[in-house]
């Protein structure tokens, strides 16, 4: 079982579909690894032992009966707390809900149709408001590469579960970097898809134009497999995306010679990138040139996304808080954030959405014209993963200031809607992962998957925390 313990999505599905291991065996191993590895990490908030084993048994029986085998057959996955899983409470990282969800979110339904088995829900800060996975009810979630450091957030629990080898992959969400930040902090591949690529049902949107759901994985191919299983829309989605190339196919082909612009200039004023991240971008630029791409340093001429991002952030928190069963159980900082956002009326939201379109047009100038590029290369985050306790005793304003280095390169692309991926590029001298961000044209995840797979092959990274040797 050693190979299975370290297998990703593609390899686990292959082993189960080929009869080399049962779905139940894969799930029981994942549950055992959660029991063994989550002590002291705090990635898992709700464990679904009986339901997961029963679901895995059903997968085995279907396979034995000659039934259809999906691309994720028997693969154990975890789901971030903000996503509905039937029979579990959608906590949003707190205690304000108490009734289990009656049905799966559409992305979870699609994962099950593809053959995946849901084994657990994962920790997050309440409503995903800040990029540190810490909460009053769930406590502190720790980075498996250094337990004194944060795994980032808000999809920190999922990142830790995957990075520590508890499961092959898990679902997160990204409204300002919440897939890319923990991926960068924990050595994972995390792609924020094009706005509208993945349905938000049962909700028409996630934080209006900002949020989308997606997987965190240990390889590019694994991410592509999950995305191909969940992509697409349903009636009622506020946003849809264009393009129909399968991402697995994109990850398996050569990207061709691309024009790649790189910059370490942060979007957020007053933020300075750590030299480790500057070197990572420069080293990646040299590698890309060696791989035959046209690579040059550029000035992306970033627009300021603040006036578009901040109202949608507050509106998203307020909308989710208005829907919980027990408002009084929300964390003090969350209730403060709710009050501070009282100025965000529907008229303000409508204005922010118009500004999002303007910001998107300006941000996408980097891809336009004869001097435009196909892909933008930047740091994923500005700082090294800080020590845990970043939210201890601080209110909304101080927490927001502490979040700035995490979102300095990420949040713009939530406003603009473009696909953007955090790609691991090894370990720094401090023993923590290093990552870069690749940003693509509108609707062009395919190029990011192809280029990321090429970089992954040229520069493999340690896949499981503690197994780097």
Angle 355-356-362 from CA coordinates, rounded to 5° = 90
Q: Which residues are catalytic?
A: 80, 154, 178
Q: Peptide bond preceding 202: is omega within 30 degrees of 0, i.e. cis? A: yes
Judge contact between 225 and 181, C-beta under 8 A: no
Q: Peptide bond preceding 154: is omega within 30 degrees of 0, i.e. cis? A: yes
Judge contact between 195 and 442, C-beta under 8 A: no
φ, ψ for residue 189, nearest 5 deg: -95, 125
Among candidates 61, 52, 45, which has minimal Cα distance to 31? 52
Alpha-carbon Rg of the chain, whole angstroms?
Answer: 20
The order of strands in the sheet holding 294-297 is 44-47, 117-122, 76-80, 169-174, 212-217, 189-192, 420-427, 433-440, 375-379, 259-262, 294-297
Judge contact between 117 and 159, C-beta under 8 A: no
> DSSP string spanning 296-310?
EE--------HHHHH
């Amino acid at each position: 079982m050693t190979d299975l313990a370290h297998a990703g999505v593609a390899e686990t599905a292959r082993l189960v579909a080929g009869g080399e291991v049962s779905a139940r065996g894969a799930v029981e191993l994942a549950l055992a690894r959660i029991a063994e590895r989550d002590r002291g990490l705090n990635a898992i908030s709700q464990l679904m032992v009986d339901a997961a084993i029963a679901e895995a048994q059903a997968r085995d029986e279907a396979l034995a009966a000659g039934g259809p085998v999906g691309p994720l057959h028997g693969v154990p996955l975890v789901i971030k707390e903000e996503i509905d899983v039937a029979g579990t409470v959608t906590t949003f990282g707190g205690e304000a809900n108490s009734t289990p969800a009656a049905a799966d979110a559409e992305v979870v339904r699609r994962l099950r149709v593809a053959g995946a088995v849901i084994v657990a829900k994962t920790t997050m800060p309440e409503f995903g408001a800040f990029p540190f996975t810490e909460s009053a009810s769930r406590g502190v979630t720790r980075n498996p590469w250094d337990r004194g450091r944060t795994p980032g957030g808000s999809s920190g629990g999922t990142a830790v579960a995957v990075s520590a080898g508890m499961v092959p992959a898990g679902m997160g969400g990204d409204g300002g970097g919440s897939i890319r930040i923990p991926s960068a902090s924990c050595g994972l591949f995390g792609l924020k898809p094009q706005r509208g690529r993945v349905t938000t049902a049962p909700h028409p949107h996630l934080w209006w134009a900002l949020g989308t759901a997606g997987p965190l994985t240990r390889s590019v191919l694994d991410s592509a497999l999950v995305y191909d299983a969940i992509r697409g829309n349903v009636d009622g989605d506020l946003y849809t995306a264009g393009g129909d190339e399968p991402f697995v196919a994109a990850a398996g082909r050569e990207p061709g010679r691309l024009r790649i612009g790189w910059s370490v200039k942060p979007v957020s004023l007053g933020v300075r990138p750590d030299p480790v991240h500057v070197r990572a971008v420069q080293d990646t630029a040299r590698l890309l040139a060696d791989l035959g791409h046209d690579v040059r340093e550029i000035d992306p001429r970033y627009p300021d996304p603040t006036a578009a991002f901040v109202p949608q952030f507050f509106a998203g928190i307020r909308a989710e808080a208005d829907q919980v069963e027990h408002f009084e159980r929300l964390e003090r900082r969350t209730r403060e954030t709710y009050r501070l956002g009282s100025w965000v009326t529907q008229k303000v939201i409508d204005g922010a959405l118009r500004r999002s379109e303007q910001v998107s047009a300006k941000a996408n100038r980097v891809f336009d014209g004869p001097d435009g590029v196909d892909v933008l290369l930047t740091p994923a985050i500005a700082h090294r993963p800080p020590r845990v306790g970043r939210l201890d005793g601080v209110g909304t304003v101080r927490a927001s200031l502490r979040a700035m280095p995490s979102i300095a390169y990420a949040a713009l692309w939530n406003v603009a809607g473009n696909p953007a991926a955090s790609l691991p590029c090894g370990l720094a001298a401090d023993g923590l992962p290093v990552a870069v961000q690749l940003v693509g044209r509108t609707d062009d995840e395919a190029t990011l998957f192809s280029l990321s797979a090429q970089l992954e092959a040229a520069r493999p990274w340690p896949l499981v925390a503690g197994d780097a040797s």
